[in-house]
Amino acid sequence: MTDLLLAVVVEMRDGAVAAGQRYEDAVLGLLGRHGGVLERRVRGLDGGTEVQIIRFAAPAGLEAFMADPDRLALRAAVGDGAPAARVVEVRDVHAAG
């Protein structure tokens, strides 16, 4: 089984930073249902940009997370205030010492 490591860059919508942050808090809580783990979460000093490092036990976990009815309902509830996200598949790189 191959795990899947993702870097997710989340941009909050203008005028909806607080709503976007609440949405992210809620949906990240759903990761465990699908074999996902939030390894790291950092936020820009202005609160408008967030970077998340997420690992899934298998690629199918990401697909299941994206289709999760609770995640979809949360996204619909936040409407136009939903943040935009860019997802990049990444790998660990160890610096030579």
> What is the residue type of 25?
D
> Is residue 51 in a domain?
no
> Is residue 63 in a domain?
no
Place of tokens 């289709």: 67
Q: Is 67 left (phi over 0), alpha (psi -120 to 50) or beta?
A: alpha
Average pLDDT estimate for 61-72: 98
pLDDT for the residue 2: 83
Residue 70 CA to residue 30 CA, distance in Å, equals: 8
Q: How many domains does the chain have?
A: 1
Query: Contact, 24 vs 55, CB < 8 A?
Result: no
Average pLDDT estimate for 57-68: 97
Average pLDDT estimate for 23-34: 97
pLDDT for the residue 96: 61
> Which residues touch 80 (CB under 8 Å, ≥6 apart)?
13, 16
pLDDT for the residue 97: 57
> Is residue 16 in a domain?
yes
pLDDT for the residue 7: 98
> Is residue 75 in a domain?
yes
> Is residue 57 in a domain?
no
> Is residue 13 in a domain?
yes
In percent, the amount of the chain with pLDDT more than 90 equals 90
Residues spanned by the domain of 79: 4-46+69-90
Average pLDDT estimate for 22-27: 96
Q: Which residue has better confidence, 97 or 62?
A: 62
Q: Which token pair is 30?
A: 């759903």
